[in-house]
């Protein structure tokens, strides 16, 4: 329910850019962020950078330690589980509010989305974008499109865990098929089938994460608050 008015400020752009970089793991979990360094790189002053980091910190994607440093937060399994519970509760409840006659425009949009998911040479980021749009479209179908904003803001840790998973192996094809199954149940008016399909889909996504955690534990937070490590000062020349 972020209420940002459309005015263009440099902060807005920086916030979106950093957020994207964190979610896509271009800025990996644990990476050190320096307000000064980011400001220099982006060609602005500390102020808009700092304000962006504060917003990201409130979302849980960044941790700020006063007088020490700012870091991309490690993927917290507890927050992943919380986000999983949240999205499952919301998306399933949304299915109960589907109208008898869904908006044809949205249905068409979803159908087009599914077609694109089946393309052979689909990049990972493209798939994630389509996945996001698909789930949000379903929420819009039941009139709760804006609630997706809240869910999306809360599932940053889950999204990063998913990207870790799909980076390893596993083609998106399986998930695309599940999307299709959900869609057919929805347009067919079979709410019960839609619910079970959706639940299975979301749980499958979730179970993938546990596998990854055993594989790459260093990207996950172990203790509730892992100790921040100031990076060594490296001087070039």
Partner DNA sequence: CGTGCAGTGCTTGTATACAAGCACTTGTCG
Partner DNA sequence: CGACAAGTGCTTGTATACAAGCACTGCACG
Interface positions with a copy of itself (CB under 8 A): 1-5, 7, 9, 51, 54-55, 57-60, 62-66, 73, 78-79, 82-83, 85-86, 88-90, 92-94, 97, 144, 146-147, 150, 154, 225
| Closest CB 164 distance from DNA, rounded Å | 25
Q: What are phi and psi of 119, to 5 degrees?
A: -60, 140
Task: Give, as one character, the DSSP assignment of residue 8.
Answer: -
Query: Whole-number minimum distance, CB 92 to DNA, in Å?
Result: 38
Q: Which does 36 bind (CB under 5 to 8 A by kind): a copy of itself, DNA, none?
A: DNA
3 sits near DNA (criterion: CB under 7 A): no
Other residues' Cβ atoms within 10 Å of the Cβ of residue 18: 23
Residue 5 CB coordination number (10 Å) = 6
Range 50-69, binding DNA (CB under 7 A): 50-51, 64-69
Instruction: Give the residue with the Cβ less far from DNA, 42 or 106.
Output: 42
126-134, 160-168, 188-196, 224-232 -> range binding DNA (CB under 7 A): 224-232
Compute φ and ψ for 201, nearest 5 degrees: -60, -50
DSSP 76-114: -HHHHHHHHHHHHHHHHHHHHT--SS--HHHHHHHHHHH
Map residues 77-96 to x or -, x wherever contact with DNA holds by CB under 7 A.
Answer: --------------------
The closest alpha carbon to 75, from 219, 226, 229, belongs to 219
Q: Which two tokens stand for residue 166?
A: 């799909």
**DSSP state at residue 63:** E
Q: In the set 16, 20, 26, 36, which binds DNA (CB under 7 A)?
A: 36
Burial degree of 183 (CB within 10 A; 0-12, 13-18, 19+): buried
Among 34, 113, 178, 226, the residue binding DNA under the rule CB under 7 A is 34
> Minimum distance between the CB of residue 222 and DNA, rounded to whole angstroms?
18
> Site residues (CB under 7 A) for DNA?
7, 9-11, 33-37, 44-48, 50-51, 64-70, 229-230, 232-233, 235
């Amino acid at each position: 329910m972020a209420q940002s008015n459309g005015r263009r400020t440099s902060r807005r752009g920086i916030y979106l850019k950093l957020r994207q970089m964190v979610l896509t793991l271009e800025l990996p979990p644990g990476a050190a962020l320096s307000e000064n360094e980011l400001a220099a790189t982006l060609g602005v002053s500390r102020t808009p950078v700092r304000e962006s980091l504060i917003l990201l910190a409130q979302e849980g994607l960044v941790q700020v330690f006063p007088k020490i440093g700012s870091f991309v937060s490690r993927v917290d399994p507890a927050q992943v589980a919380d986000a999983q519970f949240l999205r499952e509760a919301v998306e399933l409840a949304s299915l109960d509010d589907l109208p008898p006659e869904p908006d044809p425009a949205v249905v068409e949009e979803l159908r087009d989305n599914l077609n694109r998911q089946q393309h052979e040479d689909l990049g990972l980021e493209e798939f994630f974008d389509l996945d996001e749009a698909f789930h949000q479209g379903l929420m819009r179908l039941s009139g709760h499109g804006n609630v997706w904003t809240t869910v999306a803001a809360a599932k940053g840790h889950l999204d990063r865990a998913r990207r870790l998973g799909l980076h390893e192996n596993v083609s998106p094809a399986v998930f695309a098929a599940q999307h299709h199954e959900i869609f057919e149940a929805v347009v067919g008016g079979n709410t019960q089938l839609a619910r079970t399909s959706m639940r299975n889909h979301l749980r499958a996504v979730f179970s993938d994460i546990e596998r990854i955690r055993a594989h790459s534990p260093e990207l996950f937070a172990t203790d509730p608050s892992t100790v921040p490590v100031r990076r060594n000062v490296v001087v070039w020349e």
